[in-house]
């Protein structure tokens, strides 16, 4: 099941997709431990790197346990993107540099004219990719969406431009920019991209379990990137690797394992960011961990109002019936 991005060996087909505000070192390590073959860091701004923003530069640091890992940058100005890519090439231990051309949020796509707005101009897609590829030694990849809207579905054209520019792989999210995360991912277009280029294609969108992973892999994509399906569920990587690599279906995590994972996630975030920020982030993460459990909506709402993690632990123990 191993494959390569340039000279970087990826041990399996399951990739943690980059998610802003989520894919910090703590969450990445949890997913890595569960079996993710490649983990992607949350995107960083080329401008922020250029301005030597301390918080952003810290986000480019990599734990030695995370390899292989991809660092994602976004921007629209070629000179600024190249400068950021060169910084990561020289000062970050990341194995791969990824260019985000898929982010749909307004402040990136419209205000900054970056992310998915680039998809409207295949020539610029080529120019941006080529400039970054030629500026760095690390392999370069690009993440795109299938298009801007249903009238501008041009993933195949953009993918060919990206390949021509020298990128080593492409990730394709099966939605348009205007869909954001609504509706269903279009796997047919991902299949068309797979058939149009020779470099590896990573499919992305709507993978939440074994069956959905099967459907996306049926497009012929080399690997699948999992984003929202991993929120509160790093266990998905263990389940997929067990099934696809070993032919075994394993049980979902027990309440005890979910509880212990939440505690560990908090402790890792605390070490990374301090107690205050760890608590703020864990209110969201804990809600995701509990999503889908019986009568969890009230508990999730209660946790989001708490101000200390000791209070969160107390609520969790009672709800999950944990005895320590």
Model confidence at 108, pLDDT cuts 50, 70, 90, reads low
Model confidence at 115, pLDDT cuts 50, 70, 90, reads low
Give, in words, the CATH class of 255-320: mainly alpha
For the chain, how many residues are written?
324
Structure tokens at 31: 């997913």
Decide: 15 and 226 in contact? Cβ < 8 Å. yes
Question: Would the pLDDT of 155 be above 70?
Answer: yes
Q: Do the domains 3-246 and 255-320 sit in the same CATH topology, yes or no?
A: no
Of 23, 31, 103, 221, the catalytic one is: 103
pLDDT (0 to 100) of residue 110: 55
Residues in contact with 311: Cβ distance below 8 Å, sequence separation at least 6, in sequence order: none
Once rounded to an integer, what is the mean pLDDT over residues 283-298?
A: 93
- Looking at residue 68, the DSSP 8-state letter turns out to be S
Q: What is the pTM of this model?
A: 0.94
- E-strand spans in the chain? 3-5, 8-10, 14-16, 38-40, 44-45, 69-74, 96-101, 140-147, 169-176, 201-204, 223-226
pLDDT (0 to 100) of residue 111: 47
Beta bridge partners of 264: none
Once rounded to an integer, what is the mean pLDDT over residues 207-229?
A: 98
Give the three-state DSSP class for 143.
Answer: strand
Question: Would the pLDDT of 114 be above 70?
Answer: no
Model confidence at 101, pLDDT cuts 50, 70, 90, reads confident
pLDDT (0 to 100) of residue 131: 96
Active site residue 221: no
Write the pLDDT tens digit of every residue in 243-270: 999 999 999 999 999 999 999 999 999 9
Question: Would the pLDDT of 214 be above 50?
Answer: yes
Q: How far apart are CA 125 and CA 185, in angstroms?
A: 22
Question: Would the pLDDT of 90 be above 50?
Answer: yes
Q: Superfamily for 3-246?
A: Aldolase class I (3.20.20.70)
pLDDT (0 to 100) of residue 158: 95
Instruction: List the domain boundaries for the chain.
Output: 3-246, 255-320
Write the pLDDT tens digit of every residue in 160-186: 999 999 999 999 999 988 887 888 999
Distances (CA, A) of 23 to 47, 99, 205, 208: 20, 16, 17, 17
């Amino acid at each position: 099941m191993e494959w390569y991005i340039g000279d970087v060996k990826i041990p399996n087909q399951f990739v943690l997709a980059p998610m802003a505000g989520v894919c910090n070192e703590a969450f990445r390590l949890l997913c890595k431990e569960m079996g993710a073959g490649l983990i992607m860091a949350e995107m960083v701004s080329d401008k922020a790197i250029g301005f030597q923003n301390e918080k952003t530069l810290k986000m480019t640091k990599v734990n030695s346990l995370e390899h292989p890992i991809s660092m994602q940058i976004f921007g629209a100005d070629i000179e600024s993107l190249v400068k950021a890519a060169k910084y990561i090439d020289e000062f970050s231990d990341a194995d791969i540099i990824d260019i985000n051309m898929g982010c749909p949020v307004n402040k990136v796509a419209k205000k900054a004219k970056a992310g998915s707005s680039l998809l409207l101009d295949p020539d610029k897609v080529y120019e941006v990719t080529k400039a970054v590829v030629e500026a760095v030694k690390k392999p370069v990849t690009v993440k795109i969406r299938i298009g801007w809207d249903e009238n501008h579905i041009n993933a195949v054209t953009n993918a060919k431009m990206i390949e021509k520019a020298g990128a080593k792989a492409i990730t394709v999210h099966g939605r348009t920019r205007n869909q954001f995360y609504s509706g269903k991912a279009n796997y047919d277009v991902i299949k068309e991209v797979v058939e149009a280029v020779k470099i590896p294609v990573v499919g992305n969108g709507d993978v939440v379990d074994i069956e959905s992973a099967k459907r996306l892999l049926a497009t012929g994509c080399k690997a699948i990137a999992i984003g929202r399906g991993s929120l509160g569920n790093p266990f998905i990587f263990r389940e997929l690797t067990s099934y696809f690599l070993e032919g075994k279906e394993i049980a979902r995590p027990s309440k005890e394992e979910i509880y212990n994972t939440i505690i560990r996630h908090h402790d890792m975030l605390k070490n990374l960011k301090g107690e205050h920020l760890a608590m703020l982030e864990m209110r969201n993460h804990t809600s995701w961990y509990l999503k889908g459990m019986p009568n969890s909506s009230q508990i999730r709402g209660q946790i989001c109002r708490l101000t200390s993690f000791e209070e969160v632990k107390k609520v969790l123990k009672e709800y999950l019936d944990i005895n320590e």
